[in-house]
Amino acid sequence: MSDNKQVVADIDRSLYDFKDVETEAEFYRMEEGLTEETVLKVSEEKNDPEWMRDFRLKCLKLYEEIKMPNWGPSIEGLDMDRISSYVRHKSDMKGKWEDVPEDIKNTFEKLGIPQAERESLAGVGAQYDSELVYHNVKDEVAAQGVIYTDLESALHGEYADMIKEHFMKLVPPTDHKFAALHGAVWSGGSFVYVPKGVKVDIPLQSYFRLNAAGAGQFEHTLIIVDEGADLHFIEGCSAPKYNVANLHAGCVELFVGKGARLRYSTIENWSKNMYNLNTKRAVVEEGGIMEWVSGSFGSHTSYLYPMTILKGNNSKMEFTGITFAGKGQNLDTGAKVVHIGEGTSSSISTKSISKDGGIGTYRSSVTIQKTAKKAKASVSCDSLMLDSISRADTIPAMDIRTNDADVGHEAKIGRISDDAIFYLMSRGISEEDARAMIVSGFANPVSKELPLEYAVEMNNLIKLEMSGH
């Protein structure tokens, strides 16, 4: 018991929950609500090219037309009239941490981002509310021709045509209501281009911090990994807790070229007043590999199903995810995959934990089109219920349109075995510690896919949730 207290004491919740007061003198905050005027204001702030301004207006119209989803967790508590779509610090984005405004720099220092950059990353982008405040890529990586920049700069620079060609083509604004919303008010995010054959040995990371209360964050991440190239991209997110609803409706579009490989890792720890309605999608060309590693710990309500389109022959996808739904949380997560090319293969493996009244739902779809001869798909989802006031649902779907496919699916739902707890307790471990150990073991297939420091962070988050803090 005393050991457990020690462990909990070691993890400081204030690591994520601290908040900085945003004053009018330093921050520009757009009025709440969503109208044509606010969309045009965002566009003006961003100095959009004409096509983007028109695109935003088209998206706004779609947002107004598209109905709310009739499935998934309730999002009635989200009132767009109380959400500010755009909040930014009045200073510009910097290329050196020293130049970042002191209060914002402190935030990222507390989150350990500059230290991580020094020790283990090839480049970092840091977004604070609606804008990137810092972006940098190591010289040796830049020398390989890797582009890692904020999306707004890319929109005006030599990659402008590439952005126009790819932006919201994979996730069209017609996809769902919040994709349309994203298209209307998107701001911030990163653009990554890895040229043909370039292998980036150490990961790039973007960190998103939403500090403002009653605000939305709508960053757009666009990554193109060209033929034969290799990249690991890490995304982190957190926010302090407020009593009003915050909204995250980001969009991630990933293009994996022929024979290329992209690993996209996320540790999501938004505060528990966040509506996380995020859309992530990848298209993979011949022989390409897409790997997702996803940890969902935060948010009040989540809709998150990274989707992979296996377009090229022999392309592959692996999804490894964990979701921990605690008190007051309704986390609806999973993955979607569409097999189009011949010989494509996908593997989805998820773990879900529900505790203290939390609702964890695993939702997925595996679609095998007629063209996807010799496709292989396997799905494995395990749910762990830690008490009887929580809820764990498993809602998978398979749509198979060729006989020449091999599809396997396994799902299990259950609780921690009394025998396992008894065994550990007979070895002198407290019941609480035994339960935490078993849950960590349950999560192990996910944590082993993460770089060490992120695996440690994830295990700390699990311990934190298990201790009920």
Partner 1 sequence: MSRDLNMKVNVLPVYTYNFLKVNDSTIDAEDINIDSLVGPEVKELPDGVSLRSGISFDEAGEIFRANKEKILFTTGVPGDPNGDTSFRDEEQAVRTGMGIDVDKLFIEAGAKADIYTVDEGKKVEKPVILRFDMENGKGMLASQVIHARKDSEVTVIMDYSSQDKEAAGFLGVSTRILAEEGARVNLVKTQLLGNQYIHFDDIGGACFENGAIRLITLELGALKAWNGCYINLVGKQSDFTSDTGYYCAGEDNLDINFVADHRGKKTNALMQFKGVLMGNAQKTLRFTIDFKNGSSGSVGDEQEDTLLLSEDVVNRTMPIILCQEEDVDGRHGATIGQLGEDVLFYMQTRGIDEEEAKRIMIKARLDSVARLIPDEELKQRVQYFIQNIA
Write out the residues near partner 1 by the rule CB under 8 A. 69-74, 76, 330, 332, 336, 359, 361, 363, 365, 370, 383, 385-388, 390-415
CB of 414 to partner 1, least distance (A): 5
CB of 382 to partner 1, least distance (A): 10
Q: Please say which residue, 43 or 301, places its beta carbon nearer to partner 1.
A: 301
CB of 348 to partner 1, least distance (A): 13
Q: Tokens 């457990």 map to which residue?
A: 4
CB of 401 to partner 1, least distance (A): 5
Cα–Cα distance between 341 and 316 in angstroms, integer? 10
- Cβ neighbours of residue 64 under 8 Å, at least 6 residues apart? none
Q: Are 290 and 314 in contact (CB under 8 A)?
A: no
Q: Are 359 and 326 in contact (CB under 8 A)?
A: no
Q: Are 340 and 370 in contact (CB under 8 A)?
A: no
Q: Are 405 and 396 in contact (CB under 8 A)?
A: no
End-to-end CA separation in angstroms for the chain: 15
Q: Please say which residue, 63 or 191, places its beta carbon nearer to partner 1.
A: 63
Q: Please say which residue, 46 or 355, places its beta carbon nearer to partner 1.
A: 355
CB of 22 to partner 1, least distance (A): 34
Cα–Cα distance between 98 and 95 in angstroms, integer? 9
Q: Please say which residue, 74 or 426, places its beta carbon nearer to partner 1.
A: 74
SS3 assignment for 262-283: EEEEEEEECCCCEEEECEEEEE
Q: Please say which residue, 10 or 387, places its beta carbon nearer to partner 1.
A: 387
Cα–Cα distance between 106 and 156 in angstroms, integer? 30
Cα atoms found within 13 Å of the Cα of residue 40, Cβ hemisphere only = 3
CB of 307 to partner 1, least distance (A): 10
CB of 301 to partner 1, least distance (A): 10
- Cβ neighbours of residue 69 under 8 Å, at least 6 residues apart? 176, 177, 303
Q: Please say which residue, 63 or 242, places its beta carbon nearer to partner 1.
A: 63
Cα–Cα distance between 218 and 291 in angstroms, integer? 23
Task: Mark out the alpha helices in 227-339 (DSSP H runs).
Answer: none
CB of 244 to partner 1, least distance (A): 21
Q: Where are the beta strands (DSSP E) in 359-404?
A: 359-368, 375-385, 391-400
Report the phi/psi class of residue 107: left, alpha or beta, with left for phi > 0 and alpha for psi in -120 to 50. Answer: alpha
Q: Please say which residue, 56 or 272, places its beta carbon nearer to partner 1.
A: 272
Q: Please say which residue, 256 or 405, places its beta carbon nearer to partner 1.
A: 405
CB of 393 to partner 1, least distance (A): 5
Q: Please say which residue, 15 or 400, places its beta carbon nearer to partner 1.
A: 400
Token digits for 221? 């991440």
CB of 27 to partner 1, least distance (A): 36
Task: Rounding to the nearest 10 degrees, give the CA dihedral for residues 104, 234, 214, 26.
Answer: 20
Q: Please say which residue, 201 or 387, places its beta carbon nearer to partner 1.
A: 387
Nearest partner of 386 among 271, 468, 293, 296, judged by Cα: 468
